[in-house]
Amino acid sequence: MGELVTLAAALNQALLDALDGDDRVLVMGEDVGRLGGVFRVTDGLHAKFGDDRVIDTPLSESGIIGSAIGLAMRGFRPVCEIQFDGFVFPAYDQITTQLAKYHARSGGMAKLPVTIRIPYGGGIGAVEHHSESIEAYFAHTAGLRIVSPSHARDGYQMLREAIDCDDPVIFLEPKRRYWDKAELGQVAESLFQSRVVRAGVDATVLCYGPMVRTCLEAAGLADEEDGVSLEVIDLRTLSPLDLPPVFDSVRRTGRCVVVHEAPVFSGLGAELVARIQQECFFDLEAPVLRVGAPHAPYPPSRLEKFYLPDVNRILDAVDTVRGF
């Protein structure tokens, strides 16, 4: 067994290797240089590559992304860090009206290989603006690719592939999993493929990012206490969605629960439910259920355990779909 590393360390290694392997790669963002980032994901990079490759920017998310667009147009591969999920919105105009559109606007002639790293989600005892689930905002915008790793092994390979991608990539990092450890190694799936992380026969559970570990814990408890076999799928890519493995699983199990931290109302789960019921309608034994946050602002830290999905809420949904 190889050395276990945290997700944060795996991402740091991915950035180091990308910078080392391609002079066109730049890292830029607030406090990414000498400080090494709020979560220390860029720690040590400035000392090795200097001011020209690891760039401390002013506190201007719009400026960060606008600068990255210009750099990408001139042949660079910028990797931008948005310090916290809720800080991305000043850059939303640049991302959705410029970055996402330029390839189509140029008739396919121009490519903008910009990677935007965003720590997202809750579970760390922070407050609003520091605990947001923002994926649905960007998934609705054509021209962006959106991915989210759930552990260190995926984090390393997915970030390397995102930086190599010629399209803009929103790289969502589940901040509550930064300190979870896993062994580094080769990953069979490419950047835009989902993965069955636990096989089962009684129901399918779909999840991504921070909820993968929670869903695996729920599946283990269901098996141990009730003998219920849950198949857990880590979606990994949120746009484009890789749905054939999802459809195959649901056709076998006949039941499905979709889990995400984001509010259920108009969340990514709604698209998943619609697509599953469209493609697998005659194989379903029960309605597809969603487990997520309520349609409310993120609460103070002492209340977040009631806001975020947990094992009990997931198992309640599983019991409901199995009751049909």
Point out the residues that are catalytic. Answer: 130
If DSSP codes are grouped into helix, strand and coil, which group holds residue 236?
Answer: coil
Through-space distance between the first and last CA atoms of the chain, rounded to whole angstroms:
43
Which of 305, 321, 249, 306 minimizes the C-alpha distance to 124? 305
One-character DSSP codes across 28-51:
EETT-SSS--TTSTTTTHHHHH-T
Whole-angstrom Cα distance, residue 166 to residue 30? 24
Angle between helices 311-322 and 211-226 (to 10 degrees): 60
Q: Residues with Cβ < 8 Å from 220, sequence gap 6 or more?
A: none
CB-count exposure of residue 247 (10 Å: 0-12, 13-18, 19+): middle
If DSSP codes are grouped into helix, strand and coil, which group holds residue 197?
Answer: strand
Whole-angstrom Cα distance, residue 101 to residue 297? 30
Q: Residues with Cβ < 8 Å from 86, sequence gap 6 or more?
A: 128, 129, 130, 131, 132, 134
Rounded to 5 degrees, φ, ψ at 173 are -105, 120
